[in-house]
Structure 1
Amino acid sequence: MEEGGSVAEEEDEPVSPTGRLFREPNFRCHIVSVFGLAAPVDLPALRAGVAATLARHPRFSSVQVLNEFEKDARPKWVRTAVNVDDHIIVPELDPAATSSNPDKALEDYVASLSTRAMDHSIPLWEIHVLDFPTAEAAAAVALRVHHSVGDGVSMLSLFMACTRSASDPGALPSLPPRRRRWPLVSSSTGAAALDAVVALAMWAVSLLVLAWHTVVDVACFVATAVGLLGDAPTVLKGEEGTEFRPKRFVNRTLSLDDVKFVKNALSCTVNDVLLGITSAALSRYYFRKTGERLSGESDRQSITVRSAVLVNLRPTPGIQALASMMESGKHNGSSWGNKIGYMLIPFHLAKHDDPIEYVRRATKVARRKKSSMESVFTFWSGDMVLKLFGIKAAAALCYGMFTNTTLSFSNMVGPTEQVLFCGNPIVYIAPGTYGHPHALTVHYQSYMNTVKLVLTVDESRFPDCHQLLDDFAESLRLIREAASRKSDKAHDGTAG
């Protein structure tokens, strides 16, 4: 018998192509999410809650099985009995370390997870209980999941389906509404008010622009994957074999209100602001480390590094559907897994006299990428390579894409209200990932009125990673102040 319910009798499901990629030696990727709690951990309540939720999810109650006697054998997800005690880990930590410097003790333990292999004979997830207070929380739990189980967006949605609203413990939490990702024609065109012929012409032009940008982006992606186009070595770029080195996860809490203030002042999006902050922070770090000076007018010259951005293309089930999936222990027609495309986003490293310029440039890049189907075509082309030439060829192309770029970047939206996990209020969510060949991964996670910045770094490349965190915080402060001055001038001009 499976704890929390019997094993559902469903047909074994093949591991998705992306899930198979995460089994390859150079892509043994894992997701590690730390959740800060407002109270000490109630272990019996945690165990009962996990047995009633995560342990009942089809993916979290399955193992990957490969029948080596089959021709062209492919791994499948096979349901198995779940012993919750195998997955909830309470480590024995040095009391002196957890009391003298609890934040470092938490950081060190989470970093150690990047050096430990998972047991593939049981479902590929673990919950580590770190029941001691830190600067931001009374306790913490760290959820580690093999990336083949699902993508980051699905994982966040699933975890939210395991929580309840702090204001109404019987209700699921609320998430912000999702915006359309790649509109062909901007809503600002006012097509409804235009003559039908003009509207049709604008639609045709936007379609041609979309097609052209997609062709250019896919060509650059292929050139990057095969090694014809690559980022130059810098202090930000990892060396060969960085995917096998220990990783450290460091984080900093930023103000979502400050980010939204900049967004409103510059008439852009939250993602544009986060891209601008990242560009400004990486610039500060790069020029401090190298001591380089740009010749001529600094605003007109820059060094470009590129980020690989993973885009979830699978419609993610709503948290209500996921809650029902865990209650029944069956998929119930909901899709799950990894269906990921890629985008390459440039970050310009420069010294700008006006901090707002970082956000302006980021906004231009983001708008350009919104008029491209790069992520869809990269997924489709990768799927075709896998089917025609096998998993090794697909893995080689993906590995080339990562090694010829500098960093990874992601941004996810969390609940706008406080949530409870097994009765404990969550005070922060800090997700990260490791196992891919980048020395630096930048991740933003919003929750309530904060944004948690999480950096996953190769310790040998970024021994001063906490100083890099300071660069992000300082960049937001400078951009916020510049945006405030801009707003004040605009207000004074209007008043005058």
Structure 2
Amino acid sequence: MGMRERVRRPACLVIEEEDGKKTRVEDFEPELPLSPGTKIFHQPNTNLNIIAVMGSGKKIDVNVLKSGIEATLIHHPRFSSLQVMDTEGRGAREGNGKWVRTRVELEKHIIVPDISNITITSPDRFLEDYISDLSATTLDFTKPLWEFHVINLPTTEAESVVILLCHHSIGDGVSLMSLLLSCFRKTSDPNSLPTIPNKTNLFADRRRVGLCSSTGTVGDVLGLLVRFAMLVGMLWNTFMDVFSFTATSSSWLKDTVTPISVKKGMPFTKKRFVHKTLFMEDIKCIKYAMNVTVNDVLLGITSAGLTRYLSRRYSDGGGKKGGGALPENIRLRATVQVNVRETQGLHVMADMMDEKKNKDAKFGNWIGCILIPFPIVQRTDPLDYVRTASRISNRKKNSGEANFICLCSQILIKIFGIKKAAFLSSELIGNTTFSFSNIVGPLEEVSFYGHPLAYIAPSVYGHAHALTIHFQSYMGKMKAVLAVDESVIPDPHRLCMDLSDSLDSMKKAVMSCG
């Protein structure tokens, strides 16, 4: 479900000295109540955590890391505040609470496991297991809900790794990623913020209902007619999307049960996180040849990769009815969280950590949810997956689904309360197959206080889906990050390869066409 958060300006803490002079000590947030966007992520079935695995090009100096975090992140109110929940009365029943500023003890937030006495035969597997075990833990509410884990162990892609674990109640993926990257600087120019393309969300580029001005009476009339037709089309798309969304939340419309579906009522298990590197050069080769967007290509790759994977699972007897061919008319959809705020650059996020500057940036959970269908069908031409994805994407851009759902969520919470909204959110997840997201990263190499970033692989866990697919671009590469329930998807690396192989087949098809 989508929701907005109310933004308030910070108060200024002033103390009066013995001589009568008043001194400004610091900016601080008063004890603000938790917004609906925060409270919903504390409900049992929507208690989510964001995890970001960051590879470093050199061994991590923990003292330097602490100094860097002390100079950046902990100045942000949400990284230096406790979430104090009401424990009795109506407030407890409605999941109410408040933000309370506190002194951050970095020693409790930066965790360096001792691995000196452990025999590690495969560093990559050790790291994978460590991250998987983290998904079975909970964050401590007696401190701000975030922590960094430092693993000084060389792996295939990095000399060491830092893992950020953060509760989703602090903010959505776009705001957290933007805030995190605003702490980095270009390796080539330590005084400059990273360069990030304007589009930072999958469906942020919504089409405007309008035309360039026409000249003459006939042109004006035609322009009005076209604008009216576009408006009607957008309203119709919005109506159909909201109807489908409502039917899914109400369990009237469900995805087809497949080998990657989770059975309702299945207890939460820890996730395994794996990732595969794709090259932006290959993706853009398809993009320019077909006149589509990078997002269209990623959606096409996902559809093709899932078709490959499910075809193999069905042929191996992974379907309910035993081995056989891929069934027809599979309904398989993903929930996609869409950023409904106006895009804000890294400079705005960087200002939020400077207590002398304005903190009016819309941080937190400003998201609306949409449903994206992924056709699961064998195609002779791999580029057909991209063509279909482009049509679906263009239609979604010409719909107000995300903003409408965001608005309806606020109304629903006010009328029926947070628990009912959380229940409908969990039903939506239970009646769809997986989660999907894509965030744009820096174009060039960036560093954090002398530590060059080798890669970044973010994901989320805590919801009922057995599969979450996240794409993250950085420095000419695209990370495909999978979070899976191994009891449902026992071979996540194989699924990663299916995504990679699908991209290769599309590139070959483009090259063969000249």
What TM-score, normalized to structure 2? 0.89
Unaligned runs of 5+ in 2: 1-23, 316-323
Q: Deviations over 1:87-130 (max 9, x none)?
A: 000012365544x2010111111111100111011000000001
Q: Superposed, which structure 2 residues align to 1:250-261 within 5 Å?
A: 250-261=274-285
* 2:305 is aligned with 1:278: no
Q: In structure 2, what is the Cα distance between the partners aligned to 1:311 and 1:329?
A: 31
> Percent identity of the aligned residues?
43
Query: Contact conserved, 1:58 with 1:331, CA < 8 A, in 2?
Result: no
What's 2:483 paired with?
456
Q: Superposed, which structure 2 residues align to 1:414-493 within 5 Å?
A: 414-486=441-513, 488=514
1:391 CA displacement: 0.8
Q: In structure 1, what is the Cα distance between the partners aligned to 2:49 and 2:509?
A: 38
- Aligned residue among 58, 68, 71 for 1:49: 68
What's 1:183 paired with?
207
Query: Contact conserved, 2:57 with 2:452, CA < 8 A, in 1?
Result: yes
Query: Contact conserved, 1:308 with 1:409, CA < 8 A, in 2?
Result: yes
1:243 CA displacement: 6.6
1:303 match: secondary structure? coil
Query: Contact conserved, 1:243 with 1:434, CA < 8 A, in 2?
Result: no
What's 2:164 paired with?
143
Off by >6 Å, runs of 4+ in structure 1: none
- Aligned residue among 58, 80, 96 for 1:61: 80
Q: In structure 2, what is the Cα distance between the partners aligned to 1:329 and 1:224?
A: 46
Q: Which moved more, 1:253-262 or 1:231-240?
A: 231-240
Q: Which moved more, 1:325-334 or 1:409-418?
A: 325-334
What's 1:209 paired with?
233
Q: Deviations over 1:28-78 (max 9, x none)?
A: 100000011100001111010011111111100011113446754621111
Query: Contact conserved, 1:127 with 1:141, CA < 8 A, in 2?
Result: yes
Q: Which moved more, 1:263-272 or 1:311-320?
A: 311-320
* 2:55 is aligned with 1:28: no
Unaligned runs of 5+ in 1: 296-300, 489-496
1:22 match: secondary structure? helix
What's 1:105 paired with?
126
What's 1:325 paired with?
352
2:226 match: secondary structure? helix
What's 2:423 paired with?
396
What's 2:7 paired with?
none
The one-letter code sitting in structure 1 at the alignment partner of 2:271 is K
Query: Contact conserved, 1:309 with 1:344, CA < 8 A, in 2?
Result: yes
Q: Superposed, which structure 2 residues align to 1:354-433 within 5 Å?
A: 354-433=381-460
Q: In structure 1, what is the Cα distance between the partners aligned to 2:438 and 2:78?
A: 24
- Aligned residue among 133, 136, 155 for 1:115: 136
The one-letter code sitting in structure 2 at the alignment partner of 1:85 is E
1:431 match: secondary structure? strand
What's 2:325 paired with?
293
The one-letter code sitting in structure 2 at the alignment partner of 1:424 is H
Q: In structure 1, what is the Cα distance between the partners aligned to 2:266 and 2:356?
A: 38
Query: Contact conserved, 2:335 with 2:372, CA < 8 A, in 1?
Result: yes
Q: 1:144 and 1:399, CA in 2 relative to 1: closer, same or farther beyond 3 A?
A: same
The one-letter code sitting in structure 2 at the alignment partner of 1:178 is K
2:396 match: secondary structure? helix
Q: In structure 2, what is the Cα distance between the partners aligned to 1:6 and 1:69?
A: 34
What's 1:77 paired with?
99
1:141 match: secondary structure? strand
Query: Contact conserved, 2:314 with 2:326, CA < 8 A, in 1?
Result: no
Q: In structure 1, what is the Cα distance between the partners aligned to 2:342 and 2:117?
A: 45
1:357 CA displacement: 0.7
- Aligned residue among 111, 134, 152 for 1:89: 111
* 2:222 is aligned with 1:198: yes
Q: Which moved more, 1:173-182 or 1:247-256?
A: 173-182
Query: Contact conserved, 2:256 with 2:330, CA < 8 A, in 1?
Result: no
What's 1:166 paired with?
187
1:466 CA displacement: 0.7
What's 2:339 paired with?
312
Q: 1:6 and 1:400, CA in 2 relative to 1: closer, same or farther beyond 3 A?
A: farther
Q: Which moved more, 1:439-448 or 1:168-177?
A: 168-177
Number of aligned residue pairs: give it: 475
- Aligned residue among 257, 264, 268 for 1:240: 264
Q: Deviations over 1:332-361 (max 9, x none)?
A: 222211021111000011110110011111
Q: 1:477 and 1:110, CA in 2 relative to 1: closer, same or farther beyond 3 A?
A: same
- Aligned residue among 173, 189, 195 for 1:152: 173
Query: Contact conserved, 2:55 with 2:454, CA < 8 A, in 1?
Result: yes
Q: In structure 2, what is the Cα distance between the partners aligned to 1:221 and 1:94?
A: 51
Higher helix fraction (1 or 2): 1
What TM-score, normalized to structure 1? 0.92
Q: Deviations over 1:279-329 (max 9, x none)?
A: 00000000100024358xxxxx64230100011213354221222221217
* 2:375 is aligned with 1:348: yes
Q: In structure 2, what is the Cα distance between the partners aligned to 1:294 and 1:22?
A: 37
Q: Deviations over 1:150-170 (max 9, x none)?
A: 000001100111101111011
- Give the CA RMSD over aligned residues: 2.0
